[in-house]
A and B are shown apart, each in its own frame.
Chain A
């Protein structure tokens, strides 16, 4: 089970304040994680990735395990702690230190 923490604006959109739990078969990458997230909550399409380019929106960041993974390849596997559900994957609205 993958744990995902969304920013407040997106929690409002999906009407869920708690972490999101996702089951993803096979390798867990940024791309497959966001695919699964959008499949579960179609309203998130276009809010994390640009719907035309499918790239991360400029003011969205991805953090996990105290690392900034925003600029990692979307097809790179996420850390084991994330894939094992020990650490959440954070989708963050970019505002330094906020």
Chain B
């Protein structure tokens, strides 16, 4: 945390941006992506730039670095770093600024490092470039930097190539590169978005500490209000290319002025907001009042005062999973012989009732997605029983399976990938009706229209293609298609994770409404505990293929017993800057994170290397 009082006017700003407008050439005209925005960042201050996708926040960062392609982009306005006008610098001198005076880290640690150069070289390179070090000095300094960003065993690891590092470790290397020349300003563009929540907490803490150590300013770009509250002194909110509001972090959270900021904050799930309640609860969706903003995807609903859904507690559970185990064969060698097995899901058991939501929570690679797919037999489980409506899914033949699967459907993460781009949405929703012989002809058309209305779309949308819809609308289409077969259970695999926060709230509301109307049971798979709190009746936490904790939601979140659950919950950034910024004690080495340390039987824990490699599909 910097020493600068957040509300004080910036006396001598490190970075001053005045009237920045960045446009891109589209066809034959220039289209502004960032419009006339101004802000300043003081010494050792952290300014967070917040916005949803398409708000222009990343383009702002690239404009400051002048990394917008000159062929297709145009930067106007004035950008000063310590009084030096960056936009009028010759390219050669601008290169001295990049990496020297301004360091930058990016969202995707997996692809931001050059795969054919050792990480040590990539750190030393920037030292040789800006600090005129010879090769040996640079290498020694690189080792020091590795220690600084807490990469263990630096001497050894410096000689390794990026692909041998995990995502969090790669982001540390990126930070080492960005901070190598002790820059005046660090620009961090969504640096933790691609990381698991516990790793995110470590990286945020590292940035905070190094900021104090080096004495630099930070421009932190993010879409996550929780991260903002955790790291920012001041906040600038961007929407659709404009800066709509700026102020100290406390003010923005406590008394947001602009309608968009208010809407954004209302849609942010706050972990602990439902403390004491047993049931899921809808988000409050605010409407934007100003005319210059894009229309919201759904009009404020009139049903906001409906009662929350309660599960049907009578009779047998809808789904009863016992001892589910799924192992993947690791193939290799000639003609793909089986070399070994990866334990993706081990001995998982739970039940789910009609009208109930069970959330499956865990970090990437924990086996939660594999569990969902194994239940539907999209992946063939190795052992266990999956009783659905009293019948064991795992013993059915292909025909029976197809018939029973109708009653359980799945919604996926990627709203762009889960609809066939070459089919009109009407045809996509109609196809399952025909395949299962449910409706035909005019009846089918009527059913398509009903389904579209049910998810908040219009019947005339049937003739459009998926690319004509926004991300949130596409997720609605996926829900409509899943509902076409009148299922009783829906496996929602990270179904809202890829959506912007305000859209996410709307889709969650839709899912809750449908649950109440149709008595649907959800298996809600997510890494996002704050969302999970909002939607679930019960929670199961997964770690390394096993369920480590399983209880009613309130019991899991309000009073977590298992150390891993505690860690997971503590790591979630809370969107409230008033809370003391606590050191979370999470700087535990991520590579040491093995099952054993959390009381999971070591047997189930596969070797870390093969684990990470083989389970990419699990994310």
Are chains A and B native binding partners rather than an unrelated pairing? no
Binding site for A on B (CB under 8 A): none
Instruction: Please report A residues at the B interface, Cβ cutoff 8 Å.
Output: none
